[in-house]
Amino acid sequence: MKYIKNGIFASLFMICTTALANEAIFESAKEHLNLDSRYIQIEYNTNIVEDFCPKQSVGCYTSADRGRIIVRDDLSKTHHDVVIFGLYTDYIQHSNTGLIDSSLTCDLKVNYLKAESQNNLANLYSGQCDAIYRNKVLVMN
């Protein structure tokens, strides 16, 4: 019984910690965009992502149900925050303008990573932005 209580406590602690971290990421996304929107929770569910989101994606934003963000529950820790940041920027853009500028989202993710001193990851994302949105060649060393 003691192990069950400890397991429940640990699970609740991790859920609360993740929720607080996601709220901080949401606030950062609002600041980067200089836009406001109501906070929405992240839904962690790999099965829904596989059924609902584009193939090969780790998550997505949909405007259904006043805005919904769904993310794989096995999303790597390395990419977690920047993925959440990107999905929040998509949501905030859409809730304010009805549109999503994917190039802007990509650039904002790079800026977010630089602000978080994750320069190697910022360089990776910057190269992807260039390759996808600016027709530049992505070279990996």
Q: Is 60 exposed, middle or buried (0-12, 13-18, 19+ CB in 10 A)?
A: middle
pLDDT higher for 16 or 85?
85
Q: Is 116 exposed, middle or buried (0-12, 13-18, 19+ CB in 10 A)?
A: middle
H/E stretch holding 25: helix 2-33
- CA pseudo-torsion sign 63, 66, 104, 22: negative
Given pLDDT bands bounded at 50, 70 and 90, which one contains residue 127? very high
| pLDDT attached to residue 140 | 52
Map out the domains of the chain as residue ranges: 2-35+76-133
Residue range 31-69, pLDDT digits in tens: 999 999 999 999 999 999 999 999 999 999 999 888 999
| pLDDT attached to residue 21 | 86
Closest by CA to 71, choosing from 136, 117, 21, 123, is: 21
Across the range 60-81, mean pLDDT stands at 94
Residue range 94-122, pLDDT digits in tens: 999 999 999 999 999 999 999 999 999 99
CB 131, CB 125: distance < 8 Å = no
Q: What pTM, to 2 d.p., does this model score?
A: 0.83
Residue 72 has pLDDT above 50, yes or no: yes
| pLDDT attached to residue 68 | 95
Across the range 82-97, mean pLDDT stands at 97
Given pLDDT bands bounded at 50, 70 and 90, which one contains residue 132? confident
| pLDDT attached to residue 12 | 40
Residue 10 has pLDDT above 90, yes or no: no
Strands 42-44 and 68-71 come out as parallel
Return the DSSP state at 92. Answer: H
Rounded to an integer, what distance in angstroms lies between the CA atom of residue 46 and that of residue 59? 8
